[in-house]
Amino acid sequence: MTRRRLIIDCDPGHDDFAAIALAVTSGVFEIEAITAVCGNAPLPRTAANALAIADALGTSIPVYAGAVAPLLHRYDFPAAFHGVTGLDSAGATLPPPRRPLAPGHAALEIAARVNAAPGEITLAVVGPMTNVALALALDPDIASKVRELVFMGGGIVGGNVTARAEFNIWADPEAAAIVLNSGIKTTMFGLDVTNRAFIDTDDLKRLRAAVPAPNPVADIIQFYSERSGDIAAGRVPGPALHDTCPIAWLIDPTLFQTESLSVTVETAPGPGYGATDADRRTWAPDHLPRIDVALELDRPRLARLVTDALVEAARRIADRR
Ligand code: RIB
Ligand code: CA
């Protein structure tokens, strides 16, 4: 079976780490590049984390640094959730990478790779969309050459940074508007499903038992779990690994149910800044650009797939020590 050619654009980020581990260990992707963007932490940190993850998993995937800042929005980085490094751990950390970042800017690399392989490259975007928006601004024609784009971001039912806006979109709504209006075949995994994409206590125990200490994968996920408001409130038993959803869908589309909707991003200043609004009227005009939006998921099967990937990642990291 030919592997799906994939670029992962991310802001590691604990759930970005889980998404990369899922993609790498699944065996179904030819991961052409990992591109980093500012988001959960400043760009130097997210790029360093992406490189450490790719290297610790034993891959030679090139990692490129991208946008240092969103197109317009400026905000304080959410260290409360991901720590000052962007990938803080409750104990052991990933080993330092044995190679440097690849030269060149992520946006230029995305455009160059898509142009070199029209119709071949899938973009998985699990952070703010600044790099992809920049690539589209540099070369708008790539919109017709991207095989498809899957992303974690937004939410029809509401937000997490504000009542209406989810972090990845809120961090750079103007970039998201550029990407969602580009005409690229797009599938959205918003909070509608990702808030329910949690692994449970049995999954966490299985991860903890995967390898003898040190187990940096378990410790990193534990840090993230200890900062989950939903766990603290007793709403879920374990951490929601938002960014794994688009990758899991590429691996097994039966894990989710999607609906074709017209989705707009609010870029006007105010309480709705960064919100993703879906037109769910059955008589909605057909001329508006539509994307596929995931609205339901098979959580137990998703959790099993993600936990299997995290266990395999823990084993690969242990074997490289
Ligand atoms: O809202 C969840 C998103 O924000 C995830 O991508 C997480 O990594 C953070 O960036
Ligand atoms: Ca992310």
Give me the domains of the chain, ranges plus CATH numbers: 4-319 (3.90.245.10)
Cα 171 to Cα 16, 26, 245, 256, 305: the distances in Å are 16, 30, 20, 26, 29
Catalytic residue among 9, 11, 16, 219: 11
Residue type, 307: T
Decide: residue 252, CB within 10 A, 0-12 exposed, 13-18 middle, 19+ buried. Answer: middle
CA of 15 to the centre of ligand 1 (A): 7
CA of 61 to the centre of ligand 1 (A): 22
Question: Residues with Cβ within 6 A of ligand 1?
Answer: 11, 13, 15-16, 39-40, 126-127, 152, 160, 166-168, 242-243
CA of 51 to the centre of ligand 2 (A): 15
Each of the 321 residues of the chain gets a pLDDT tens digit; together they read 899 999 999 999 999 999 999 999 999 999 999 999 999 999 999 999 999 999 999 999 999 999 999 999 999 888 888 999 999 999 999 999 999 999 999 999 999 999 999 999 999 999 999 999 999 999 999 999 999 999 999 999 999 999 999 999 999 999 999 999 999 999 999 999 999 999 999 999 999 999 999 999 999 999 999 999 899 999 999 999 999 999 999 999 999 999 999 999 999 999 999 999 999 887 877 778 899 999 999 999 999 999 999 999 999 999 998
- Can you give the pLDDT at residue 35? 99
> Which residues lie across from 240 on neighbouring strands?
198
Phi, psi angle pair for 152, to nearest 5°: -95, 120
Query: Taking a C-beta distance cutoff of 8 angstroms, is the pair 265, 128 a contact?
Result: no
Residue in the structure block whose two tokens are 């809120």:
170
Ligand 1 atom nearest the C-alpha of 13 is: 8
Q: Is 15 a catalytic residue?
A: no
Dist. CA 218–CA 22, nearest whole Å: 15
**Preceding amide of 214 cis, omega within 30:** yes
Edge to edge, the sheet with strand 148-152 lists 63-65, 29-36, 4-10, 121-125, 148-152, 186-189, 290-297, 256-265, 276-279
Which residue among 15, 75, 166 has the greatest number of ligand 1 atoms within 8 angstroms of its CB, and so is best to mutate? 15
Q: State how beta strands 256-265 and 290-297 pair.
A: antiparallel
> Nearest residue CA, atom 1 of ligand 1?
167
- Can you give the pLDDT at residue 53? 98
3-state helix, strand, coil in the chain (%, to 5): 40, 20, 40
Dist. CA 36–CA 8, nearest whole Å: 8
Ligand 1 atom nearest the C-alpha of 160 is: 1
